[in-house]
Structure formats: C-alpha cells, structure tokens
C-alpha cells in the first residue's frame, strides 16, 4: 500500500467461503426462507452456546422483537444509556415505551449500575444495557437490580459478538433477550442483518412469526394470526453470515492485534490508560479487566480536553485518513430533545466522552504501516512527537 493511499474507517473482510456459499444460494433459486437461514441460526446459536437464535434483517429489528418479547409498551419506562447508537433507545419508542437515560461509567463507558438504580421508579419495566464498543456492561449488577425489582433486561449486544462479561459468560448469552447486528463494520457481517437471542422456545417461535408478517409455521400461505413485520434476512445474507462465523476467531484475533498495535503506538505518545491521566491527556480505550474481555469493534480514543475534535477530524481527512466523532449522545439528538425535552448537562460523563471521542480507522488486517501513519499524523496534528 502506498503511503498516500486513503485509509478507510472500516472495511469488511470477506476472505472465506462467502462467495462459494452465496453462489450456492443463487444456484438453488431459494433466495429467501430457504435452508441457509436455519443453518446460519444454528451455527450462530452453537457459537454463542445458546439454545436458539432468530436471524432478522437488522440489529434494530432484533431489538424491536426483543422489546415485544419483554412486553414493554405504553406507560413503561426502561432505563438505558445515552451513550449508544440511537437504535438502542428508538426500539422502545416503536412500542410506545419510554427510554429513561442515566449516566455511564467513566472508564468502561457502559451504563453505570448505581445511576441505573437511581433512575428506576414505579413505572420502570426494565433495563437496557448496551455493550458499547464491545466492552461488557456490568451485567452482574444490572441483573441484580432487575431481579430485586422483578423487571426484565434486554442486552444490546450489537457491537459485542465475542465480548465476555465479569462472570466469564459471553455477552448476549446470559438468558436475557439480546440483539446482535451485522452491518459491514461489525465483528462479523451479513451486509445488513441482525440476530435475536430469545429467552426461550416460546419467544423464538413468536419472533420467527413476527419477522415474517405474523405467520405461524404450520399456517397456510397468507394466513396470519398476529401482528408481524417483514424483518426477514435473505438466504444470500445468511450464506455470508455462515462463512463469516466459520472464520470468526480469526477475525476477532485480527481485530485484537490491530487494537494492541494502536495501544502500543499511542502509549509511546504518552496516551493515558482509561481512568488515568489528566484532562489534558489523550486517553486510550479501557483494557481487559479480571474476566471481562472486550471484543474489539471500533478503536475510539479520547482527545485531550480542549482539543478541537472536529478540526482534528478535518485535518486527518485532508491527510487521507477517515476518522469520526463516535459517538454522539442519544439524548442530545434533535429527535430526543424534541420528544423527551432532554438537554446538555444531564449526563456529564457520557457528554464529556462524546465531545472528546475520536474513532480511528479500524478493521482486521489494517496494516502496521497504516497504523503508524494514523498515529504519526494524529501526533503531528496534536503537536506531539510520536518518536520520543
């Protein structure tokens, strides 16, 4: 790769049997509701060590069906994090439930259990933690709070395939309904797609019906016994998913390698570990802790307080490097300000992170030379010496 080639933010790696399996689907003529779909679901469930998994057209669709499984609706409040992709709270609005935000832990950036507990009240029907950036939410504490109140938990594991929680169990495989997502920048992709891990066989059957316009498996064509949607994943997408799963360990390991290389280079610049350092420091993402394991989804650093983050992004762009402000707080979007009256200052930890956050190019196999170039340019822009 030449030194001046553009470095993208993300890139899928489709180097396994994707083409072969997609061709198999094309030649079979069964592009949707064919045999690849259950094959993909079985392979995913096996990989996660859960009883069943229901493939759908997106992570958002998986979240929506999970909200329906939990029965959250009008009059219900669900406590969740504002530091997430907007779909993790929009899924509540789809069913007229109300997201109630609380602040996040300053190191892990996942929902702060104490803040979550303080945000619960008589209308609270559940908790919706997000394993943001592939870091595990504090599930032990979250589940304790839910159990004490007799309310449900929905895990947004869209960014967390391969994430391990503090008790050594995988995110999304704990018996709570959980949603995974397979957009092209995720740990594995189907182009677009998602997976619902239901909490039991009854809910798996309901989700399979709801993703397919409310049809029951034994019903005649065009007979419907419940409200449903078109949340189907095609067999072409399922074929890509099977091939990606076959190489998941390799893909995850390659992501970890890139993250480790970034960590080393940035530490040489004087970047501080998450939770340490001064406001004037560049801060690294949190590292593994006890049994907690991050599954690397994105590489997001915190710029020094006061740095012109958008200016840095513009500079990187002019030097051929894609970077993004990742991610904005949900409660500060125009939609939520208008709907819920949320405003700046409500969740200072999430807001401060969000202002300083910068996602750097990150994908399996990102070459060392590109990592060096990104870090070198960032150092130059921030006025630091990357060689000292």
Ligand X SMILES: Cc1ncc(COP(=O)(O)O)c(C=O)c1O
Footprint of ligand X (CB under 6 A): 58-60, 84-85, 87-88, 130, 156, 158-159, 181, 183, 194
Which CB, 178 or 269, lies closer to ligand X?
Answer: 178
Q: Whole-angstrom Cα distance, residue 296 to residue 202?
A: 33
Which CB, 30 or 184, lies closer to ligand X?
Answer: 184
Which CB, 88 or 108, lies closer to ligand X?
Answer: 88
Distance (Å) of CA 44 to CA 53, 147, 174, 338, 388: 7, 28, 15, 39, 46
Of 72, 86, 231, which Cα lies nearest the Cα of 154? 72
Residue 110 Cβ, how far from ligand X at the closest point, in Å?
11
Instruction: Tokens 């750097």: give the residue.
Output: 360
Instruction: Tokens 């609706």: give the residue.
Output: 73
Under 8 Å between Cβ of 373 and 380: no
Under 8 Å between Cβ of 377 and 344: no
- Among all residues, whose Cβ is closest to ligand X? 59
Buried b / exposed e along 241-265 (16+ C-beta atoms within 10 A):
bbbbbbbbeebbebbbbbbebbbeb
Residue 57 Cβ, how far from ligand X at the closest point, in Å?
8
Residue 63 Cβ, how far from ligand X at the closest point, in Å?
6
Residue 163: strand, helix, or coil: coil
Q: What are phi and psi of 19, to 5 degrees?
A: -65, -45
Residue 84 Cβ, how far from ligand X at the closest point, in Å?
5
Residue spans of alpha helices (H) in the chain: 18-28, 36-48, 59-70, 87-93, 113-119, 139-149, 201-210, 235-246, 248-268, 309-318, 334-340, 348-356, 368-382
186 is catalytic: yes
Under 8 Å between Cβ of 167 and 139: yes
Residue 130 Cβ, how far from ligand X at the closest point, in Å?
5
Which CB, 54 or 87, lies closer to ligand X?
Answer: 87
Which CB, 94 or 183, lies closer to ligand X?
Answer: 183
Q: Write the DSSP string, 56-108.
A: ES-HHHHHHHHHHHHT--TT-EEEE-SSS-THHHHHHHTTT-EEEE--B-TTT
Residue 327 Cβ, how far from ligand X at the closest point, in Å?
8
**What 8-state DSSP symbol labels residue 132?**
G
Residue 159 Cβ, how far from ligand X at the closest point, in Å?
5
Which CB, 88 or 342, lies closer to ligand X?
Answer: 88
Name the active-site residue from 174, 186, 232, 302: 186
Which CB, 58 or 209, lies closer to ligand X?
Answer: 58
Instruction: Tokens 């507990």: give the residue.
Output: 117
**Which two tokens mark 33?**
């509701």
User: Where in the sequence numbering do the catalytic residues fall?
Assistant: 186
């Amino acid at each position: 790769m030449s030194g001046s080639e553009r470095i993208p933010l993300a890139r899928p790696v489709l180097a396994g049997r994707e083409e072969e399996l997609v061709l198999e689907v094309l030649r079979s003529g069964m592009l949707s509701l064919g045999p690849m779909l259950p094959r993909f679901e079985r392979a995913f469930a096996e990989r996660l060590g859960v009883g069943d998994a229901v493939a759908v057209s997106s992570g958002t669709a998986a979240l929506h069906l999970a909200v329906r499984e939990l029965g959250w609706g009008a009059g219900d409040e669900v406590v969740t994090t504002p530091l997430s992709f907007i779909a993790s709270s929009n899924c509540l609005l789809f069913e007229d439930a109300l997201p109630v935000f609380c602040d996040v832990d300053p190191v892990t950036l996942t929902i702060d259990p104490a803040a979550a507990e303080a945000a619960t009240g008589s209308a609270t029907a559940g908790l919706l933690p997000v394993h943001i950036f592939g870091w595990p939410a504090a599930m032990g504490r979250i589940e304790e709070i839910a159990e004490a109140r007799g309310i449900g938990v929905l895990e947004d594991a869209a960014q967390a395939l391969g994430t391990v929680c503090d008790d050594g169990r995988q995110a999304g495989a704990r018996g709570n309904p959980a949603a995974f997502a397979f957009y092209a920048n995720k740990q594995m992709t189907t182009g677009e797609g998602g997976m619902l891990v239901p909490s039991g066989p009854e809910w798996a059957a309901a989700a399979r019906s709801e993703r397919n316009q409310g049809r029951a498996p034994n019903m005649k064509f065009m007979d419907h016994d419940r409200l449903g949607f078109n949340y189907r994943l095609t067999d072409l997408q399922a074929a890509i998913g099977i091939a990606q799963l076959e190489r998941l360990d390799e893909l995850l390991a390659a992501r970890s390698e890139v993250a480790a290389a970034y960590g080393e280079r940035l530490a040489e610049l004087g970047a501080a570990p998450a939770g340490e350092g001064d406001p004037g420091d560049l801060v690294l993402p949190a590292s593994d802790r006890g049994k907690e394991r991050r599954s690397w989804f994105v590489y997001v650093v915190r710029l020094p307080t006061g740095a012109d983050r958008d200016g840095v992004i513009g500079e990187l762009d002019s030097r051929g490097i894609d970077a993004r402000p990742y991610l904005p707080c949900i409660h500060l979007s125009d939609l939520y300000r208008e709907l819920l009256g949320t405003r700046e200052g409500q969740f200072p930890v999430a807001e401060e992170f969000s202002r300083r956050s910068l996602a750097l190019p990150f994908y399996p196999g990102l070459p060392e030379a590109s990592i060096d170039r990104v870090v070198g340019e960032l150092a130059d822009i921030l006025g630091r010496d990357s060689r000292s």
